[in-house]
Structure 1
Amino acid sequence: MGLYIETRVRADLDELWARTQDPGAHQRWDLRFTEIRHLPRAQGEPQRFRYATRVLPFLTVAGTGVCAGEKERPDGTRTSALRFSSPHPLSLLAEGSGYWRYVPDGDAVRFLTGYDYRPRWGAFGALADRLVLRPLMGWATAWSFDRLRLWLEHGITPERARRSWLAELAVRALLIAAAGAALTLEPALTNPAVAYLCPLLLVLTLSAALFAPPLPGTPAARRCLRGAPAPARSPRLLHTLEQPR
């Protein structure tokens, strides 16, 4: 799989399963989706779903997918797999597949995903994917996993977590702006004391804005593992699903 994200969640396995398998809960914590809705299905068939992502205020791209899960496995783990596609001509992501694994680990659960997709638009799409979309998708997945972790471990709802993240971004942006404004205060630099302290304060301000760790209640992609610790294989369940059209 092209992308791999893993986090460790100190939560009940059943609760983690519910928050990730229920479409209403899933769309609350996953930044990649605006809407997820299960479609009607016949008895014994895999679950089909519709998803939508608001790319811009006036542009929403949608697609369909099919998924299946294994809730009871001999080794105590759980797995779900999906295939998805989007016919929208403005969606760079054409089709893909992936899986989630739930691995009990002491008092926690290792929750991990591996997925890949095919971009459209030929050579231009491949370049745009490598430079922009794929890094963005990896970051968004990791950020969302951490938001889910905060919800399960600390009861911080996804909506509150997003507000905290936006507020922290605003504070960091203000610090950077203040540092930039300080550079324009040339008359003040005629004072030897100010001229000595100003560069130091600027460095400290910029360092705090750019490199200070996020607050404990703020989602952060950096808290997740962004590469498989060992070669990861897709589950057999994935190969039983047909690509939706």
Structure 2
Amino acid sequence: MSHTGLYIEARIRADLDDLWTRTQEPAEHQRWDLRFTEIEYLPRAEGEPQRFRYASRVLPLLTVAGTGVSAGERERPDGTRTSALRFSSPQPLSLLAEGSGYWRYIPDGDGVRFLTGYDYRPRWGALGAPVDRVLFRPLMGWATAWSFDRLRLWLERGITPERARTNWLLEMLARALTITLACTGFGYGSLLRLTGPFAPLFFYATPPLALVALSLALLAPPLPTTPAARRCLRTPPTRVRAPRLLCALENQR
């Protein structure tokens, strides 16, 4: 299995210890990561890798769950940190059968390059591969990048994950409403009636204004307080190798 199937990188201006805590503590992790509804560490014996259980709410009445094992290197000679994990879900409704991946924390000036590489094997037989390629894998890549930017806002600006989600929903609603009004001309007749003698002016001005509004709704960059996947790097700048920690973890199968 290739471990560069999905690659996401964000530069976060934050303390390395704070970033490590927000990503390694399950209660903190599940708040910002859109891919998970619940993450729980399981009991382990001294010296064993950490095992965990995760759950993801796919639909209001549908939740898929799985288990995994993780290990981390908090102190490395070059000042970086690494964590790796393997995961799997036995549930037939889960397209994701099993996978593995890693996080890297690379100090960079006044911040940290926080990046991930991961891949997985889909199930559902001959149907699973095309569904994964066309729909699920792009969605997973977007969700990971969006979550990384939500984490960045939390650490850099103090915007909680819950508030960041509300900001995103409100902005998407405003854009959708603007697109709807611009495309349907809703309220155009009312505007002409209200403007009275200035109606001819609005008659000629409104279509261009609607076009400008439509362009802004579709093309304007997201607000600084709104998480956006586009702010993350989605292609590795150089050839990436999976860390030795991940290889060691996989050898414990």
Amino acid at match of 1:157: T
Residue identity (%):
73
**CA deviations over 1:164-200 (Å, ceiling 9, x no partner):** 11111111111011112217968999x7644533331
4+ residue stretches of structure 1 with deviation over 2 A? 183-189, 191-199, 242-245
Q: Does 1:94 align with 2:102?
A: no
The question of 1:175 aligning with 2:195 is answered no
Is structure 2 residue 37 aligned with structure 1 residue 34?
yes
Partner of 2:216: 208
Aligned mates of 2:162, 2:181 — CA distance in 1 = 29
How many pairs were matched up?
Answer: 244
Segments of structure 2 that go 5 or more residues without pairing to the other structure are 193-198
Pairing 1:108-119 to 2, within 5 Å after superposition: 108-119=111-122
User: 1:80 matched to which residue of 2?
Assistant: 83
How far the C-alpha of 1:45 sits from its partner, in A, is: 0.4
Alignment partner for residue 141 of structure 1, among 139, 144, 149?
A: 144
> Match of 1:151?
154
Shift of 1:95: 0.6
Partner Cα separation in structure 1 for residue 125 and residue 207 of structure 2:
48
1:236 partnered with 2:225 = no
TM-score, structure 2 normalization: 0.91
Alignment partner, residue 196 of structure 1: 204
Which amino acid counterpart does residue 231 of structure 2 have in structure 1?
R
Q: Equivalent residue for 2:56? A: 53
Q: Cα distance 1:188–1:103, how it changes in 2: closer, same or farther (>3 A)?
A: closer
Contact 1:6/1:110 (8 A) holds in 2: yes
In the alignment, what sits opposite 1:163?
A: 166
- Give the structure 2 partner of residue 217 of structure 1: 225
Under a length normalisation based on structure 1, what TM-score does the superposition of the two structures give?
0.94
1:6 to 4, 9, 21: 9
3-state SS, counterpart of residue 116 of structure 2? strand
CA contact (8 A) 1:65 1:244 kept: no
Residue equivalent to 1:69: 72
Contact 1:85 1:243 in 2 (8 A): no
* Structure 1 residue ranges without an equivalent (≥5): none
- Residue by residue over 1:116-148, the C-alpha shift from the partner in whole angstroms, topping out at 9 and shown as x without a partner, is 011111221110111100110000000000000
1:24 to 15, 22, 27: 27
- Corresponding residue SS for 1:208: helix
How big is the alpha-carbon RMSD for the aligned residues of Structure 1 and Structure 2? Answer: 2.0
- Which amino acid in 2 is paired with 1:108? G
